[in-house]
Amino acid sequence: MEINLVSDTVTKPTEEMLRTMFHAKVGDDVYKQDPTVIELEAKAATMFGMEAALFFPSGTMANQTAIKLHTQPGEQLITDKLAHIYHYEGGGVSFNSGVSCCLLDGNRGMITAKQVAEAINDPEFYHSPLTSLVTVENTAMKGGGGCYDFEEFKRIKSVCDANNLKFHLDGARIWNALVATHDNPAEYGKVFDTISVCLSKGLGAPIGSLLLSDAKTIHRALRIRKMLGGGMRQVGYLAAAGIYALDNNLQRLADDHRRAKELGAVLEKSSWIAKVEPIETNILIFSLKEGLNENVFIEKLKERNIHISSLGHGKLRIVTHLDYREVMHSYVLETFERIVVK
């Protein structure tokens, strides 16, 4: 029994999802003639109180499209220093849009309206790049799956409006945040100019993200997606997986959150643990006591068929997900209680 807790991206479609995909009605989505894609886009847009949505092969492409929509080369965006768009999108901010990043020292990957206001460059001071965009990530991956207080989003939005800035949400794990906080997704459409949402993590679809916005912006996004090579043909087979995921796998994310917290509780009692970061959703970040080798620990777990990942700088990560079943969870809990690390 292999137990992969490296990421929630490792999930595979269930038999029910595969059957739904097999029976999907499809067309050519490059011509916007795939009925299942159209259904998925309308479904997601309605959920978030947005006018329109566009299906993408990846969250990275959706985020990069949003950045290009809202900026011009030479300008600057504001984001947290742990942001996915900065660390894990291959330098696309600079390569695709010619934009620099003003990185803020937030709390576990989450920034405040006060920090944003203080970071905005004077638009009349032409020696500095023009600030044009603010991006946030919910949940904050490198912050351990932390969830923003929605009131902070509204405060940041006020700062953006006052300074003529656009506001983008990287919602790769927005579903986890919504389940944890019970926020109404329709309220998000009132705050953000664009939102990216991912279907291939906790929801269990094999591929796919969506970019949500007003109809005019999504029409512009269609051209950028084409330029980036994101046009797909009979992609309704994949969109069907996304529809199934939204209909069936959303509320079960609470199980992932529970299991992550239970793992954290066991780790906190372990003599070989230095720190367990706060756990709000399905991501657990922890560190070993000084002098213990994290690579040795990872190998010890591999010998027991448990796979986790390193974030570097002494931090280890566990991510619970759809394919991490209760029988696996019991085994991992027992392993953590018994393993000797020295």
Q: The domain that contains 35 carries what CATH number?
A: 3.40.640.10
Do 25 and 94 lie in a common domain?
Answer: yes
Q: Is the pLDDT of residue 341 over 90?
A: no
* Neighbour tally for 324: CB within 10 Å: 23
Residues 243 and 259 reside in one and the same domain: no
- Are β-strands 209-213 and 194-198 bridged in parallel, bridged antiparallel, or unpaired? antiparallel
- What band does 110 get if pLDDT is binned at 50, 70 and 90? very high
Structure tokens at 112: 């405040």
Q: How is residue 10 annotated by DSSP?
A: G
Instruction: Give the per-residue pLDDT at 21.
Output: 98
- β-strands 273-276, 309-312 pairing: unpaired
pTM of the model: 0.96
Q: At residue 61, does pLDDT exceed 90?
A: yes
Residue 143 and residue 56 share a domain: yes
Q: 62 with 140, same domain?
A: yes
- Residues 300 and 224 both lie in one domain: no
d(CA 159, CA 180): 26
Same domain for 68 and 105: yes
Q: What is the mean pLDDT of the chain?
A: 97
Q: Which ranges in the chain belong to alpha helices (H)?
A: 15-22, 35-47, 59-70, 84-87, 92-97, 113-119, 150-162, 174-181, 215-227, 236-248, 253-268, 294-303, 326-338
Number of Cβ atoms within 10 Å of the Cβ of 263: 21
Number of H helices, E strands in the chain: 13, 13
Single out the residue of 145, 149, 147, 142 nearest to residue 105, CA to CA: 142
Residues 6+ apart with CB under 8 A from 230: 56, 57, 61, 65
- On whether both 232 and 302 belong to a single domain, the answer is no
Same domain, 153 and 18: yes
Our count of domains for the chain comes to 2
Region class of 50: left (phi > 0), else alpha (psi between -120 and 50), else beta: beta
Section 209-228 average pLDDT: 98
Q: What range does the domain containing 320 cover? A: 3-8+252-338
pLDDT over 90 at 219, yes or no: yes
**pLDDT for res 247:** 98
Q: Are 261 and 280 in contact (CB under 8 A)?
A: no
Does residue 231 sit in the same domain as residue 274?
no
- pLDDT confidence tier of residue 22, bands split at 50, 70 and 90: very high
Pick the last residue of a domain from 227, 248, 269. 248
From 202, 232, 248, give the residue that closes a domain.
Answer: 248
**Residue that finishes a domain, picked among 215, 248, 281:** 248
pLDDT for 342 beyond 80: no
Query: Average pLDDT in the 243-255 region?
Result: 97
**Per-residue model confidence (pLDDT) at position 204:** 96
Q: Please tell me whether residue 339 adopts helix, strand or coil conformation.
A: coil
State residue 231 phi and psi, 5-degree precision.
-70, 130
Q: Are 240 and 20 a contacting pair, CB within 8 Å?
A: yes
> Is the domain of 225 the same as that of 293?
no
Q: In what order do the strands lie in the sheet with 283-288?
A: 273-276, 283-288, 315-319, 309-312
Same domain, 232 and 260: no
Looking at the fold, whether 168 and 309 belong to one and the same domain comes out as no
